A and B are shown apart, each in its own frame.
Chain A
Amino acid sequence: MNRPGPDASRTGTPGDAGLASVTDDLRAFLTSATGRDELLHLPPGAALFGDAVGLDSLTGTLLLREIQRRFGVDVAGEDLNLDSLATLGTLAAFVAQRARPRAAQ
């Protein structure tokens, strides 16, 4: 079967300009929302809401609203299990895959 297409796009691939750009946008937003410069260098594998960074619910909600405004992606509405919120990388991949053409390129 010809499976690789959708799977590859779901997880993102190295050099995926859309994914890299979304990841940077999310880092920049988190930095400005929290006033914490170190979040500009957040690794993709960092858990956003668990133990790694400790984002609070207010910042998390702001982040999802900003994603909806900027990329047209309703994360909470489209990912009912919220698996995409596991890490910065999974969230960026989810958004990059569904973003409107402007952001997804």
Chain B
Amino acid sequence: MPSGGLVDVWWFDTRAVTVGPAGLADLDQGERDRAEAFLFPADRHRYHVAHLMLRRVLAGYTGTPAGRLRLGRERCPHCGAPGKPVLVAGAGAVPSFSLTHSGDMVIIAVAGRPVGVDVERDADRCVCSLAQALHPADAAWVAGLGEPARHEAIITCWVRAEAVLKCTGQGIGHGLGGFPVRPGQAAARRVNGCTVRQLPAPPGYRAAVALAGTGRLTLRVTSAPAGTAGAEVWT
């Protein structure tokens, strides 16, 4: 299990993953119900991939079979509503994790203390209206950029802010402009009690990870679970 400032980052491309009956059997009833509620097959597939991979990644850290892991929700520290998904403690240490998906991409971040990750697909249209949701300092920074750099900068600010909120467990419904996320040349920045840094992302996507505390943040990025390199087909 990663400790200190280390964050393990697992990327999955939902187009490269097939989910079969054995995989679906590892999901709990709540996850299966949720998946069934999607109107469109593409959403259902992405949900299946994200939650099955989450269980398989966490199984690798805990030694508990994927289908036996119990997932619950922490309460939002701001309003008390059910919020951040967490592993319900069993025997042994329990890693912190965060799950995000956008477009075809799923990312799971795992760390020894609270962690948040967010990925967003670059928008096909102008996103300048989102600048109003950012902290005024970040909004002023993006306002000074020309398009399309401004659009990229807005999405960059967004994923950093959302990663921080997912790390602290505060719902994004309370707004994400409460603190500046300070993109810039530095690899890692202190933001709102967290350390945040940009995550290398495939073309068309932006991603960031945040770790509780203000020390170093080291990324260990993997494209597939250990021992399965090159075999991204699951049954």
Residues of A participating in the B interface, judged by any CB pair closer than 8 Å: 32-33, 35-36, 38, 42-43, 46, 50-54, 56-58, 61-62, 65-66, 69
Contacts and interface: CB of A to CB of B under 8 A. Distances in A.
The 6 closest A-B pairs by CB, nearest first: A51-B37, A65-B129, A54-B43, A52-B39, A57-B172, A38-B40
User: Which bucket holds chain B's interface residue count?
Assistant: 20 to 34
Contact of A32 (B39, B125, B129, B130): B125
A62 B123 contact: yes
B214 interface: no
27 contacts: A32-B124, A32-B125, A33-B123, A35-B124, A36-B42, A38-B40, A42-B39, A50-B37, A51-B34, A51-B38, A52-B37, A52-B38, A52-B39, A53-B39, A54-B46, A54-B47, A56-B102, A56-B120, A57-B162, A58-B123, A58-B127, A58-B158, A58-B162, A65-B130, A65-B132, A66-B129, A69-B129
B133 interface: yes
Given A53-B38, A53-B39, A58-B120, A33 B125 contact: yes
A101 to B, nearest CB: 23
A56 B166 CA distance: 14
Nearest to A32: B125
Interface of B: 34, 37-40, 42-43, 46-47, 102, 120, 123-125, 127, 129-130, 132-133, 155, 158, 162, 172
A65 B34 CA distance: 28
A56 B34 CA distance: 16
Interface SS of chain B = helix
Contacts of A46: 39
A62 B125 CA distance: 10
A42 B127 CA distance: 23
B60 to A, nearest CB: 26
Nearest to B129: A65
Contact of B43 (A32, A53, A69): A53
Nearest to B155: A58
Contacts of A35: 124
Nearest to A51: B37
Given A53-B38, A58-B123, 4 more contacts: A33-B125, A56-B120, A62-B123, A69-B129
Nearest to B39: A52
A62 B129 CA distance: 7
A36 B103 CA distance: 10
Contacts of B124: 32-33, 35
Contacts of B120: 56, 58
A58 B130 contact: yes
B127 A62 contact: yes
Nearest to A35: B124
Contacts of A69: 129
B14 to A, nearest CB: 12
A53 B123 contact: no
Contacts of B37: 50-52
